[in-house]
Structure 1
Amino acid sequence: MIVRCVSSFFMTEHSTWVAEWAWGLLLIVLTVLIHTSGLWMVRQTALRALSHPVLRRHHRTMMLTITSGMTLSAAALHGMEAALWALVYRFLKALPDYQVAMLYSLNAITSYGHTNLQLEDRWHLMGAMEALNGWLLFGLSAAFLFAMMHRLWSLDSE
């Protein structure tokens, strides 16, 4: 009887652990794909704008507009990715409603962690995985913005 209870406990703990890893890894891969696709589209739009003859005559305005658009787009991508995590938290019933799930997700993905919101105990690993995901996504955004700013600044020397 005791062996059966202990075995049942570890099987439940093990299956929750596996589920957390599975959901977390799936969301990390999915959000990185969304993010890189979104950044690629932003890049294509920025490059088209750079080649537009009217915009090239107003160099400073063009640079400010493109930089603002890239920054806004990156922030929107991060928001959409946090919303995806929030939807999964709601689907798993790890948080009570969508607003709480979204606030928790934004806190986790930015590693801000200021609010006292917490996932149900069995889903704590996902919160840590979302923080890891945030580091990856913010790294991609920083690299992208750096590369595009370098490209824009190199136009000054032309």
Structure 2
Amino acid sequence: MEVSEGSCRLGLWYVNVTWDGNIVHRIRFQRTGIPGPVPEVITRYLTGKVTCLDPLVSHLPDQPGTYGRIYKAVQAIPYGSVQTYGEIALKADTSPRAVGLAMSRNTTPLLVPCHRVVASKGLGGFTPDLWIKEELLRIEASVSKKMVQQNLSFREQE
């Protein structure tokens, strides 16, 4: 398949996506967009219409070693939930500092939802702007609250 690129909006930011079929190679948050569409499921996710990005996949969890274990542990964090760098470190048999470094090198945020990884006292960081992490967590909390009120599972929403 041919590699595609495009952008959608998240507040004042553009979510620039590079993908090939169902494989997402890169997601970047930038102040300027790039021409072209993004996979529809990403737009629906960012507007709270779906809770899962299937069928899109990231290659990061398939990496061998520490980073692969970290990315798998982060992917396992349920929608609308958070875990600390320390909790992820325990699951991946590494240190919280290594988890932070892996998150800073995460080329497919949203698919490896690093916004769900928080510090033990506060949100922690997020590149390029903490507002993005706050907004993604706000979207997930709002959708989760609606799902609980409607007594629906996350899959039923889709």
Q: How does the TM-score come out when normalised to structure 2?
A: 0.32
By percentage of residues, which structure has more helix? 1
By percentage of residues, which structure has more strand? 2
